[in-house]
Structures are given as structure tokens and as C-alpha cells.
A and B are shown apart, each in its own frame.
Chain A
Amino acid sequence: DTAVSQTPKYLVTQMGNDKSIKCEQNLGHDTMYWYKQDSKKFLKIMFSYNNKELIINETVPNRFSPKSPDKAHLNLHINSLELGDSAVYFCASSQFGGNRINIQYFGAGTRLSVL
């Protein structure tokens, strides 16, 4: 069983379209994240949700809207796609709590290509 699964794995679309990427984790974690890896391979945090509450929003354009219907899911919706949105998007999850070591488990990534 895949611990953190993302769909789709590949997404090719035209500029201006709206698209969604889904993420699900079966690890029982209470915190989920979205990271973006650009063409230069820099990996940066975008959002994080803890128990369905947004706790990190790293200056991401408001065209990006994460939605967490429950602790096991964190979806990413992108409106009016631009060429610069082309990247690999990674979902991750971890378990919070006090001084617990925060080990994040990542999905396989979604490669988004905007034409």
C-alpha cells in the first residue's frame, strides 16, 4: 500500500486552464504539505495543513487553493494556469505533537506541464 499517493502522476494542460491535483495519505498523520520543485530542482514548501487547518502559506499566488476535506486528504487546485506553474508538485505528510520528531513522508510527485 502506498503511504502517500498523488494523482495524477502527469498533467499536461494549456495556459489559462484550471486543474486539480489530489493527495491522500494512509499513515494516520494529522499534517499534510504541498511542495513545488521547479526546473532548477529547488524544492520549496507551498502549504501545510494540520487537522484541516491551514498553518503554512508561503507567499503562493492566490490562484493556488489547497483544500483539506479531512486529515487524510489535501488537494491542490490551480486556477488560470501559467507557464511558470510548470513544475513537479510533491505532497507530504507527518505526525505532529509536542517534541515529536517531524518526519515527513513524500508522494511520488505530479509533473505539471503548462503549454
Chain B
Amino acid sequence: DAKTTQPPSMDCAEGRAANLPCNHSTISGNEYVYWYRQIHSQGPQYIIHGLKNNETNEMASLIITEDRKSSTLILPHATLRDTAVYYCIVRVAGGTGTASKLTFGTGTRLQVTL
């Protein structure tokens, strides 16, 4: 799986958009970008994924650059409940055996403040 680079921490005011960047310059053509988050004392939670097109769901939007070497997770209206560690992971779709695992990096600690 390609390695990812994320800033260790970010702050965001409540109600504002939180833009979390991720660099994955060695991503392969068949690798997807996944985002998970971990709220304190909880298990990781899936947010969104994408291959090359921008994606949006009820939780967030994912913007992937045309060369696919970086992406940005956007929480359009951050709330205090969005305070968490956000993980950007790249891996192939499906896959068997060791290809099925998620390799978590250190992530970005997002602090949403009043």
C-alpha cells in the first residue's frame, strides 16, 4: 500500500469548513483513497473513499487532485463532535489476504473549537 503524509494536527472553528490534506504521491492506479476517523475512546469510523473523481456523502466531501498524488477531506460545517483523529489510507479495492488490511498512519488530530 502507498504511504500517506498528513499534518499532525489542525484546528477549526465550529461551523466552519475543515479541510484535511493528505499526500499520497506513490499511489498506484488501482489504489483507492479511504478516510477513517477515530473519536476519542471509540473505534475507527469509515467516512468516505474515492478513486479519481470527487466524492460526497452525508458526512464529508473528498477532493482528489487530477494526478491523484494528493487529496483533501472536507467537513463542510465542523461541529465539536467532529473532533477526532482523521486517517487517510490508500489501498486497493477488495483484495484478498494481506491486501485486505488497513494500514493506519499517525493521522491528523482535528480540534474543533467554539
Contact partner of A48 (CB less than 8 A), chosen from B34, B85, B101, is B101
A102 and B43 contact, CB distance less than 8 A: no
Q: Does B53 make an interface contact (CB < 8 A)?
A: no
Query: How many residues of A sit at the interface, in one of the four size bands?
Result: 20 to 34
Contact partner of B93 (CB less than 8 A), chosen from A33, A42, A101, A107, is A101
How many residues of chain B are within 8 Å of chain A by beta carbon? 24
The stretch of B12-20, B58-66, B68-76, B102-110 in contact with A is B102-110
Most buried by A among B41, B44, B85, B97: B44
B44 and A103 contact, CB distance less than 8 A: no
Residues of A within 8 A of B (CB): 4, 31, 33, 41-45, 48, 50, 55-56, 58, 90, 92, 94, 96-109
Residues of B within 8 A of A (CB): 32, 34, 38, 41-46, 49, 85, 91, 93-98, 100-104, 106
Q: List 16 A-B contacts (CB under 8 A).
A: A4-B43, A41-B85, A44-B104, A92-B43, A92-B44, A94-B100, A96-B100, A98-B94, A99-B93, A101-B49, A101-B93, A102-B93, A102-B100, A103-B34, A104-B46, A107-B43
